[in-house]
Structure formats: C-alpha cells, structure tokens
C-alpha cells in the first residue's frame, strides 16, 4: 500500500533533501524564511514572521542579508585611515592623468604636514574642530605660505573621501557625507615678500644678465622679456628657435623640466595653453645666434642650456637659480638702498615681463598667450596699470564736466 503524502501546515513544504522550508507572502511576494531539520522550527519561524507582520516590523530575509552585508562594509569603511585614503587618492590622481610633478607635490605636503597629525586616524573620526586646530598650529609655526597649500591639499583629499572630487567615478562609495575641511579664511592668499612683488625694469634685467655666467645670460634675457618659466627655459632645444621670412625670431615652448621626486625629467605643460610660439625681441635675438654658436651642439635636439658647454645633460634648476641669485647680488652691489629693486628670485623675471606687457596695454588674451595660462584670472593682476590709466581717464572726464 502506497504511503500517504505528509500533510504540512500552510506555508511549509518539504525540500527533496528532507528539510522543512518555511515561506510567507508579504506585499505580493513570497519570502523564504529558511530551511529547518525539524517541522517545529519551521512553524516557529512562521509564527515569528506573522507576528512581525502584524506589528509592522517584518523585514524579509533577503533584505536582512543585504543590510548585514552593507553594515559589514560600513564597518570596514569606518576603519580606513587617512593614510590609506591618501594612497588611494594618489593612485587615482595618477590614473586620471595628473602630472608626475603635481602628485609628487601632494605627496610631499601630505607626508610633511598632514600625516603627522591625521595619518593613523580613521577618516570618519576627523572633525572640523580637528582641522581648525591643525591649521592654526601650522599657520603659527610656518606661516601662510606653508599652511595654505597644505590646507588645500587636505581639502582635496577629503573632497575625494566624500565622493565630490572632480572627475570622480560614480561607482565610488563615499566614506563620509561631507568634508570636515571647512576652516574659514584658510584658502585666502596672503602675499609675502619673496620677490613676488618686485618688478625689474628692462635696464635692470640687462644688468643682471650681464653679471650672469656666459652660458646663462640668454636664459635671463628670455625669461625677463617673454616671461618664460624656469623649467621651460631649461627644457628648450635648438630646434625650438626659428626665424620667419620677415626676419622675426620665434621660440617654440612645448615642454618643461621638472626636478621633483627622483632625478630630472621632462613633462608637457599643465594645459594646452602652455604650448605656445613667442616672438623674441630684436635686442634679445641678437644674443641668440652667438649663444647657439658658443654653447649649443649642432643637432636640433641639442639643449639650449646644457649642464656643460654643448653637452647633452640637463642643467639642474637649482644651478640656474643660484647663478641668478649671484648675478642679482653682483648687479646691484654698491647701489644706495633706495635705488635697489626689491627681493628678486628667478620667477621675478617672468613676473616683470608680464607686468610690463600689461603696462604697455596688452589685452587679456595676449597676456594669457605670453604667460601660457588657460585661466584668465591668473593674469588679471598684470593689467593693474591699464586699469589705473582708465581710472585716470575717468577722473579727467569728471574734471571736464565741471568746467
């Protein structure tokens, strides 16, 4: 005689392996509560689920599982330290194409000024008060010249942690809802007397060039007249110099020498605007031919300012900086203090050239071309003289109206 089928309570069936499976309907969907060896356990699971449904507290098992997984991930994210976050951030910056020099600068600032305070701390534990105290201590110890860039680096790091960095993939799961780096006034630029405000006259630029070593005279003149950066000067090659049919000498700028990290290396400009063709003034062009004959090898790829005469090795930026500093000291030695220019560094040459261009009435677009900038706000300061002249004109109109 065939064995009769086992009669089971509603919501329970038996799996092929013999286990009792408990299931319940909720919101038009069947939810499996689990599989049990004993029918009593399956009945207990059903009873608990029905009670939770009656009280409005029922959470389906699949949702419970998802919640447990998310909670585990949240605990894991909560354990991520600022050091670990920084390494992820640096790797991401490299992946999206930030220059080697830029990433090196961020790493250096992080290692020197951020890691000692925040490195081992969990990202989620860093508060706005912590950042305010850190910034205040850094400002007191090192001044705004150190505190501001370090703060900006920390800000970028925590924007990444919050999933709000530019070009950040949507798949990134934020570690924090908002960045705690919100110190009022910390991003404000405060000028220091480091040569950034000094403007050398054309005559003073020629004086400094005259005191520089022979192989660097042209470097001083180029930066002081067409506003080249130090790294751009040292990356120039013979093939970058060309003369057009009208006799105008032009200089192609398309690379820069970097000295950050391990050794010297060449990189492209930060933006396309940095690649530019600049006219060399006639009084400087006169020196170009002599310099090429005396100091540069004949191949087009030969460096314009090699470490040794007609050599193939780059001059280290510090070598040119030191030569410039010595030339400045020699050029203005013996002058009365009131006749001397202010503090001057190599960047003063570029600043001076752009300032004079602004004084001569260069348009914003022309200044951006000479400077190699894609952001107009960076060169607006060089138009201050033009704005002063406009103000004087406006004042004269007012005087005329009262006549």
How do residues 301-327 score in pLDDT, each as one tens digit?
999 999 999 999 999 998 999 999 999
Integer angstrom CA distances of residue 168 from 24, 165, 183, 318: 43, 5, 24, 36
Residue 86: Cβ-neighbour burial (10 angstroms; 0-12, 13-18, 19+): buried
SS3 at position 233: helix
The Cα–Cα gap between 401 and 261 comes to: 63
SS3 at position 389: helix
The Cα–Cα gap between 11 and 19 comes to: 14
Give long-range contacts, CB 8 A cutoff, 24+ apart: 201-206: 201/341, 201/352, 202/356, 204/331, 204/332, 204/341, 205/349, 205/352
Find out whether 255 and 267 touch, Cβ atoms under 8 Å. Answer: yes
DSSP letter for 81, please. B
CB neighbours of 368 closer than 8 A, spacing ≥ 6?
A: 273, 374, 376, 379
Q: Strands of 154-253 (E only): list them.
A: 241-243, 249-253
- Walk me through the domains of the chain, giving residue ranges and CATH numbers: 12-76 (3.30.730), 82-161 (1.10.150), 202-390 (1.10.443.10)
Q: Tell me the per-residue pLDDT of 174-227, one tens digit each, with 9 for 90 and over.
A: 888 889 998 888 887 665 445 557 889 999 999 999 999 999 999 999 999 999
The Cα–Cα gap between 215 and 192 comes to: 31
The CA radius of gyration of the chain, in Å to the nearest whole number, is 34
User: How many CB atoms neighbour CB 327 within 10 A?
Assistant: 21
Nearest to 231 by CA among 197, 267, 187: 267
Per-residue pLDDT of the chain (403 residues; tens, 9 = 90+): 455 567 888 888 888 888 999 899 888 888 888 889 888 888 898 889 888 888 888 888 888 777 776 765 666 666 889 999 999 999 999 999 888 888 999 999 999 999 999 999 889 888 888 898 899 889 888 888 899 999 999 999 999 999 999 888 888 888 888 899 988 888 876 654 455 578 899 999 999 999 999 999 999 999 999 999 999 999 999 999 999 999 999 999 999 998 765 578 898 887 788 899 999 999 999 999 999 999 999 999 999 999 999 999 999 998 999 999 999 999 988 777 777 888 888 988 998 999 888 888 888 888 888 888 887 777 777 765 555 555 555 555 554 444 4
Helix residue ranges per DSSP H, 32-175: 39-55, 61-78, 82-95, 100-109, 115-118, 128-142, 144-161
Instruction: Using the CB atoms, write b or e for 4-19: b if 16+ within 10 Å.
Output: eeeeeeebbeeeeeeb
Integer angstrom CA distances of residue 206 from 141, 182, 209, 212, 327: 39, 47, 5, 10, 11
SS3 at position 278: strand
SS3 at position 30: strand
Token reading at 348: 């003063």
Integer angstrom CA distances of residue 58 from 21, 64, 205, 236, 377: 18, 10, 81, 73, 59
């Amino acid at each position: 005689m065939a064995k009769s089928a086992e009669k089971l309570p509603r919501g329970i069936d038996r799996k092929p392996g013999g286990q009792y499976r408990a299931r319940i309907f909720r919101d038009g969907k069947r939810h499996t509560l689990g599989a049990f060896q004993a029918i009593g356990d399956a009945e207990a699971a059903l009873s608990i689920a029905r009670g939770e449904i009656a009280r409005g507290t029922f959470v389906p098992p699949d949702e419970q599982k998802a919640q447990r997984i998310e909670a585990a991930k949240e605990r894991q994210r909560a354990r991520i330290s600022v050091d670990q976050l920084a390494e992820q951030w640096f790797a991401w910056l490299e992946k999206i194409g930030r220059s080697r020099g830029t990433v090196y600068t961020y790493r250096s600032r992080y290692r020197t000024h951020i890691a000692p305070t925040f490195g081992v701390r969990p990202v989620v534990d860093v508060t706005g008060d912590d950042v305010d105290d850190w910034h205040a201590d850094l400002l007191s110890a090192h001044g705004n010249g150190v505190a501001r860039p370090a703060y900006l680096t920390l800000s970028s790091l925590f924007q990444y942690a919050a999933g709000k960095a530019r070009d950040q993939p949507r798949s990134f799961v934020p570690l924090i809802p908002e960045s705690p780096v919100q110190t009022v006034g910390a991003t404000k630029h405060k000028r220091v007397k480091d040569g950034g405000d000094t403007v050398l006259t054309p005559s003073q630029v020629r004086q400094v060039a005259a005191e520089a070593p022979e192989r660097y005279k042209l470097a001083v003149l180029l930066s002081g007249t067409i506003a080249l950066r130090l790294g751009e000067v040292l990356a120039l090659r013979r093939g970058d110099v060309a003369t057009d049919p009208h006799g105008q000498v032009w200089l192609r700028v398309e690379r820069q020498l970097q000295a950050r990290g391990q050794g010297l290396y060449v990189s492209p400009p930060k933006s396309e605007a940095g690649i530019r063709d600049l006219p060399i003034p006639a009084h400087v062009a006169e020196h170009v031919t002599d310099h090429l004959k005396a100091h540069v090898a004949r191949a087009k790829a030969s460096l314009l300012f090699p470490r040794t005469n007609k050599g193939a090795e780059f001059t280290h930026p510090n070598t040119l900086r030191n030569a410039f500093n010595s030339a400045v000291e020699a050029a203005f030695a013996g002058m009365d203090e009131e006749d001397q220019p202010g503090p001057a560094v190599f960047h003063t040459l570029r600043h001076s050239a752009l300032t004079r261009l602004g004084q001569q009435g260069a348009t914003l677009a022309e200044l951006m071309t000479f400077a190699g900038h894609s952001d107009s706000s960076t060169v607006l300061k060089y138009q201050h003289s033009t704005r002063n002249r406009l103000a004087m004109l406006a004042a004269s109109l007012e005087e005329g109206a009262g006549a």
